[in-house]
Amino acid sequence: MTQLHNRISRKELKEAVLNDPTARTTISFYCYFKVEDPAAFRNTLYRELKNIGVLGRIYVASEGINAQISVPTHNIEHFRTYLYSIEPLNNLRLNIAVDDDGKSFFVLDVKVRKKIVADGIDDPTFDMANKGKYVNAEQFNHLTEDPDTVVVDMRNYYEYEVGHFQNAIEIPSDTFRDQLPMAVDMLKDKKDTNIIMYCTGGIRCEKASAYMLHRGFKNVFHLEGGIINYAKQVKEKDLPTKFIGKNFVFDDRLGERITADIIAHCHQCGKPADTHANCKNDGCHLLFIQCEECARTFEGCCSKDCQDTIHLPDERRKELRKGIDKGQHIFNKSKQRLRPSLKGK
Distance separating alpha carbons of residues 160 and 239, to the nearest angstrom: 22
Q: Is 342's pLDDT higher than 60?
A: no
Q: Are residues 138 and 108 in the same domain?
A: no
- Percent of the chain exceeding pLDDT 70 equals 88
- Let me know if 269 is a catalytic residue: no
Q: Are residues 108 and 63 in the same domain?
A: yes
Q: Are residues 201 and 147 in the same domain?
A: yes
Mean pLDDT of the chain: 89
Q: Is residue 22 part of a domain?
A: yes
Q: Is residue 249 part of a domain?
A: no
Residue 146's alpha-carbon distances to 64, 134, 184, in angstroms, are 35, 18, 21
List, in order, residues 6 or more apart from 259 with CB less than 8 Å away. Answer: 163, 241, 243, 244, 245
Q: Is residue 308 part of a domain?
A: yes
CA atoms within 13 A on the CB side of 89: 19
Average pLDDT over residues 285-293: 95
Q: Determine the angle formed by the axes of helices 76-84 and 38-52, rounding to 10 degrees.
A: 160
Q: Are residues 228 and 293 in the same domain?
A: no
Convert the pLDDT of each residue in 170-188 to its tens digit. 998 879 999 999 999 999 9
Q: Is 248's pLDDT higher than 80?
A: yes
Q: Is residue 299 part of a domain?
A: yes
Q: Is residue 34 part of a domain?
A: yes
Nearest to 154 by CA among 201, 188, 191: 201
Q: Are residues 103 and 37 in the same domain?
A: yes
Q: Which of 237, 263, 294 is the last residue of a domain?
A: 237
Length of the chain, please?
A: 345
Q: Is 177 helix (H, G, I), strand (E, B) or coil?
A: helix
Q: Are residues 222 and 282 in the same domain?
A: no
Q: For residue 106, what is the domain's CATH number?
A: 3.30.70.100
Name the domain count of the chain. Answer: 3
Q: Is residue 246 part of a domain?
A: no
Where in the sequence is the domain holding 58, given as residue range(s)? 10-112
Convert the pLDDT of each residue in 15-39 to its tens digit. 766 677 889 999 999 999 999 999 9
Q: Are residues 105 and 172 in the same domain?
A: no
* Catalytic member of 31, 199, 205, 302: 199
pLDDT of residue 324: 61
